[in-house]
Amino acid sequence: MFADVALPVPLDQAFTYRLPETLWHRVAEGSRLVVPFGSRKLTGVIVRVHEQPPEAEARDALNLLDELPVLDPALIELGRWIASYYCAPIGEVLKSMLPLAGEMRSGKVYCLTPRGREIARQYFLVSDEADAATQILRLLEPKELSASYITRKVPGAARILKSLESKGLVSAEDNVAQRDPLRASAERLRVEFVRRDESAKLKKSERELLSFLELHPGSHNLAETATIVKGASESARALARKELVSLVLESPLAYSSTSEIPKKLNDAQQAAFDALAASVRQQQFQTFLLHGVTGSGKTEVYMRAIEATLAMGRSALLLVPEIALTPQVAGHFYRRFGDQVAILHSAFHDAERAEQWRRVRSGAATVVVGTRSGVFAPVQKLGLIVVDEEHDGSYKQHETPRYHGRDVAIMRARAVGATVVLGSATPSLESRFNAQKGKYQLLELPDRVQQRPMPTVELVDMREEFLQTRKQQTFSGRLIEAITQKLEIGEQVMLLHNRRGYSSFVACRACGERLECVNCAVTLTFHRGDRRMLCHYCGFSRRPPSVCPKCNSEHIQFLGTGSEKVEDELHQHFPKARIARLDRDTVTGKRQFETILQSFREHRYDILVGTQMIAKGHDIPNVTLVGVVAADIGLGVPDFRAAERTFQLLTQVAGRAGRGDLSGHVLMQTLNPDHYAVRLAAAQDYHGFYARELQFRQSMRYPPFSALANVLIRHQKQEEALRMSAELGHLLTPPPEKIKVMGPAEAPVPRLLDEFRYQLLLKANSRTNLHETVSRLRSHALQNRWSPTSLVIDVDPISLL
Ligand code: ADP
Ligand code: ZN
Ligand code: ZN
């Protein structure tokens, strides 16, 4: 017997292997099989079992990982659609659909040896410019990382890792082995006393912890324990190895939440709910767009629709943006639906994810909440899929396969006759257009719940501010005044500044040189907290220079304000205010995000400063003032979605104001008060924006008036990248029927991660023609044996950068 196996390699075909007799009765389509591939061992998914010997000699399969298939036939079919639509190899698609995509990564997890650690530290002291090997050692300093992650961060890492390993500086471990709880962070662990062993040799801190736990029976959160017993986090792990204490992962059930369930839907909510419930009942595929202003109670409509779905004996899948899946949100669902809920989140530990996934497949969990990849959860008897904040960019995967979770959700629902609801206060142009054409059915919630008013919005023209004060100020007089007033009456303020770091670039006043990343054509951002210049694309960092690296001048200037500086200046203006900051530098894990938000919710801070992270869906009743420091950030980006994204962000952040009994006010500082995205966001006029933006898209033939594919060519050698892009350009001259080709041209970021980048943008009138064309480009690359990472095809790109 033979099995055709889809392997995670950049080729379109499946590979045939001979099955040893021991597997004959156990193999099934959709199960994972470990097979030899060249000199490597790879794990793939069986797509066919048969008895036809292939033409060439087939190698023997090694072992079977699953007794029950991990992908059912419908999901494999969905995978085939994704492979074809997004022009991605089937093996890589199926791999990314698996519950433990991490586990599948061929390859290893690396960590520093003690010697490696020593060297990483020394290099850190003496060298600013990092070569690839040093970069890897530094990446590994805080934590162990998978080979695939390191390779993404540091080009050519695979070879270097091998040499570092042979020098004894790093050690590798196979990733396939289940990772144990001993490695989880303290916040995620519960610790409990097991026994005493007088013969065991214990350190003082270990003895202390053991005594504490013995005196306090029951299980304790390890992070909390560590605040009482010094060094508990390390001691607990050492004690667990000796089996004197138990360490287990904390169940998400422990998360609690307090908000109550509204008793009665308002008329608009009721009408939306009725339409959804009727559709689920009919078991016919249909897509709805639920367009409800911020605070209109969309979540409550989802909840009721899910309840109705369960009452009909079917299951529901809810997708939310990555940042929105907080323990708080999870808590809502647990309280409402009890142990029928499964939460799928990439931040969860492997073992925990596997457990949630098993509950979904067995049918024990009928309400599944997940982020983008949750769309592949093996939900049984699927009746309803909700895609919350459907306009959110995190639904699009930024690596192969570059699928859009929302669109995959629709395809999945179509195959099984399920209902789809796409919800947003600022629907994407595409979705709103589909509703206009009648492809989706539009449901509207035009008002906030309980007749709460929309916030009032005021634009502050920073050009006038400059004329009056003759100074470049971060805050206008108006904003300072408004914040002062709110602080006096004990209400809370949120301030959006959508740019990380302290200063966004460093320039020399003498020669004009700007400090760029060594790997990317990108300026480095100064982060004051850890005193370094950081590349936001590749993570490269160095010390800030004291003299210009080009002309040795001492006149180094730090320019461009980031959120760190905004926070800093706020402290100066309001020395007594309690201020917190929420951005990728203050939040490195899920828990921190929730901790900061929760403290703000409990009014342990007066002002919350942050990047777009603060704009998403939080419901904090005491926030009555929202300030936008620079509404124009993002408008200058060379991307046709720049206006749409700016409008969405400003509308969403404005929607954080006045969500409780107190009414809200919004101040937006801008240098472009007449730009339609800013003006219409201030007017909270979605329909006006939609009409205006649609015109622009139509005149430029951008989506939804065309289908786009972005074709990126990248290579470490510029000549190679140029040659390849010219070849593709040649293939497309004259342009294929119904397709407009732009480029090849230098990409907006021409050098990234030490690779030169060129791009071609294809605008097509017909999807079929687009598909044929990108397939042709891909075959060309395969035939000419281009390295698989050299050609990136992004169908329906959400960003052209
Ligand atoms: P959206 O997601 O549309 O921004 P939410 O779903 O977060 O809005 O709802 C905002 C608040 O209104 C929540 O606190 C929710 O509990 C409350 N709410 C929702 N529906 C009702 C209702 N019918 N009556 C009273 N309060 C409601
Ligand atoms: Zn200079
Ligand atoms: Zn970089």
Cβ neighbours of 691 (radius 10 Å): 11
Who lines ligand 1 at CB under 6 A? 259, 262, 264-266, 269, 292, 294-300, 449-450, 619
Give the chain's largest Cα–Cα span.
85
Which protein residue's CA is at the shortest distance from atom 2 of ligand 1?
298
d(CA 704, CA 706) in angstroms, rounded, equals 6
Grade residue 19 by pLDDT with cuts at 50, 70 and 90.
very high
- pLDDT band at 759; cut points 50, 70, 90: very high
Contact 606, 570 (CB under 8 A): no
User: Which one of the ligands is nearest to 508 CA?
Assistant: 2
Phi, psi for 617 (deg, rounded to 5)? 60, 5
Q: Residue 189, SS3?
A: strand
Strands of the 315-319 sheet, one edge to the other: 341-344, 367-370, 315-319, 382-387, 419-424, 286-292, 441-445
* Distance between Cα 757 and ligand 3 center (Å): 14
Distance in Å, CA 267 to ligand 1 centroid: 13
Ligand nearest to the backbone CA of 541: 3
**Which pLDDT belongs to residue 753?**
83
Q: Tell me if 445 sits within 8 A of 292, measured CB to CB.
A: yes
- The tens digit of pLDDT for each residue in 260-282 reads 677 799 999 999 999 999 999 99
Q: Structure pTM?
A: 0.81
Specify which residues 110 forms β-bridges with.
145, 172
Has residue 255 got a pLDDT over 50? no
Angle at 651 between CA 648 and CA 655, to 5 degrees: 135
By the CB criterion, residues less than 5 angstroms from ion ligand 3 are 517, 519-520, 535, 537-538, 540
Higher pLDDT, 740 or 102: 740
Say which residue, 498 or 243, is predicted with more confidence: 498
Cβ pair 78, 786 in contact under 8 A: no
pLDDT band at 667 (very low <50, low <70, confident <90, very high): very high
Q: For 172-199, what is each residue's pLDDT tens digit?
A: 764 433 345 566 677 778 888 888 888 8
Centroid of ligand 2 to alpha carbon of 155 (angstroms): 29
**DSSP category for residue 587:** -
Among all ligands shown, which has an atom nearest to the Cα of 324?
1
Task: Compare 799 and 418 and report the one with higher pLDDT.
Answer: 418
User: What confidence category does residue 105 fall into, taking pLDDT thresholds of 50, 70 and 90?
Assistant: very low
Could you tell which of 300, 421, 653, 686 is best to mutate to test the pocket of ligand 1, judged by most ligand atoms within 8 Å of the CB? 300
What pLDDT shows up at residue 176? Answer: 36
pLDDT class of 156 with cuts at 50, 70, 90: confident
pLDDT at 121: 67
Instruction: Give the β-pairing of 382-387 and 315-319.
Output: parallel
CA distance 763 to 701: 8
Rounded distance between C-alpha atoms, residue 449 and residue 438, angstroms: 27
Mean pLDDT throughout 539-543? 85
CA of 145 to the centre of ligand 1 (A): 41
Centroid of ligand 1 to alpha carbon of 431 (angstroms): 23
C-alpha to C-alpha distances, 221 to 27, 190, 193, 251, nearest whole angstrom: 42, 4, 12, 11
H helices, E strands: number in the chain:
25, 33
Residues 6 or more apart whose Cβ sits within 8 Å of residue 285: 413, 414, 416, 417, 418, 419, 420
Residue 724, number of CB atoms within 10 A of its CB: 22
Specify the pLDDT at position 589: 63
Which residues are CB-contacts of 796 (< 8 A; sequence separation ≥ 6)? 396, 404, 407, 703, 707, 708, 709
* Ligand 3 center to 498 CA (angstroms): 20
The residue-averaged pLDDT of 9-18 equals 89
pLDDT in tens, 612-661: 999 876 788 899 999 999 999 989 888 899 999 999 999 999 999 998 88
Q: How far apart are CA 411 and CA 82, in angstroms?
A: 9
Query: Which of ligand 1's atoms lies nearest the C-alpha of 621?
Result: 14
Q: What is the pLDDT of residue 617?
A: 60
Q: Who wins on pLDDT, 730 or 249?
A: 730
Between 219 and 14, residue with greater pLDDT? 14
| Three-state DSSP class for residue 424 | strand
| pLDDT confidence of residue 106 | 39
- Quote the ligand 1 centre to 263 CA distance (angstroms): 11
- Mean pLDDT for the chain overall: 88
Question: Closest Cα partner for 628 from 682, 569, 580, 585?
Answer: 682
Q: What tokens were used for 351?
A: 């073992």
With vertex at residue 642, the alpha carbon angle to CA 438 and CA 590, rounded to the nearest 5 degrees, is 90
Mutational pocket test of ligand 1: of 318, 449, 648, the residue with most ligand atoms within 8 Å of the beta carbon: 449
* Predicted pLDDT of residue 347: 63
Q: How many residues does the chain have?
A: 801
Q: For residue 4, list its beta bridge partners.
A: 16, 48
Q: Report whether pLDDT(125) > 70.
A: no
Ligand nearest to the CA of 533: 3
Under a CB-based contact definition with an 8 Å cutoff, are residues 4 and 46 in contact?
yes
CA distance from start to end of the chain: 48
The DSSP symbol for 51 reads -
Q: Which atom of ligand 1 is nearest to the CA of 299?
A: 6
> At residue 252, does pLDDT exceed 90?
no
Exposure letters 303-320 (e unless 16+ CB within 10 A, then b): bbbbbbbbeeebbbbbbb
The predicted model gives 225-254 an average pLDDT of: 80
Dihedral sign for Cα atoms in the order 291, 295, 297, 300: positive
pLDDT band for position 257 (cuts 50, 70, 90): very low
Question: 12 pLDDT exceeds 90?
Answer: no
Q: Give the 3-state secondary structure of 372-420.
A: HHHHHCCCCCEEEEEECCCCCHHHECCCCCCCEHHHHHHHHHHHHCCEE
- For residue 221, what is the enclosing H or E element? strand 220-221
Q: Whose CA is nearest to atom 19 of ligand 1?
A: 297
Describe the crossing of helices 327-337 and 298-311 by its angle, rounded to 10 degrees.
40
For 694-750, what is each residue's pLDDT tens digit? 999 999 999 999 999 999 999 999 999 999 999 999 999 999 989 999 989 999 889
CA of 261 to the centre of ligand 1 (A): 9
In this prediction, residue 335 carries a pLDDT of: 85
* Mutate which of 263, 265, 270, 299 for ligand 1 pocket (most atoms within 8 A of beta carbon): 299
Kindly give the distance from the C-alpha atom of residue 516 to the centroid of ligand 2, in angstroms, as a whole number. Answer: 13
* Residues flanking ion ligand 2, Cβ below 5 Å: 508, 510-511, 513, 548, 550-551, 553
| 583 DSSP assignment | S
Looking up tokens 């590349």, which residue turns up? Answer: 535
Q: What would the pLDDT profile of 668-681 be if each residue is shown by its tens digit?
A: 999 999 999 999 99
Residue 1: per-residue pLDDT:
93
- Token pair for 685: 């006029």
What percentage of the chain reaches a pLDDT higher than 90? 58
Q: Radius of gyration over alpha carbons of the chain, in Å?
A: 28
Q: Return d(Cα 418, Cα 431) in angstroms, integer.
A: 18
Q: How far is the C-alpha of 302 from the C-alpha of 413, rounded, in Å? A: 16
Across 309-326, average pLDDT: 91
User: Over 50: is that where the pLDDT of 56 sits?
Assistant: yes
Do the bridges between strand 665-670 and strand 382-387 make them parallel or antiparallel, or are there none, so unpaired?
A: unpaired
- Rounded-to-integer distance, Cα 373 and Cα 104, Å: 15
Residue 284 buriedness (CB in 10 A; 0-12 / 13-18 / 19+)? exposed
Structure tokens at 109: 């997890």
The predicted pLDDT at position 239 comes to: 92
The DSSP line for 758-772 is: EEEEEEES-HHHHHH
Q: Which ligand is nearest to the CA of 328?
A: 1
Residue nearest atom 17 of ligand 1, based on CA coordinates: 297
Atom of ligand 1 lying closest to residue 265 CA: 23
CA of 515 to the centre of ligand 2 (A): 10
- Assess whether pLDDT exceeds 80 at residue 477: yes
Q: Which of 51-55, 238-242, 295-299, 384-388 has the highest mean pLDDT?
A: 384-388
Q: Mean pLDDT throughout 14-41?
A: 91
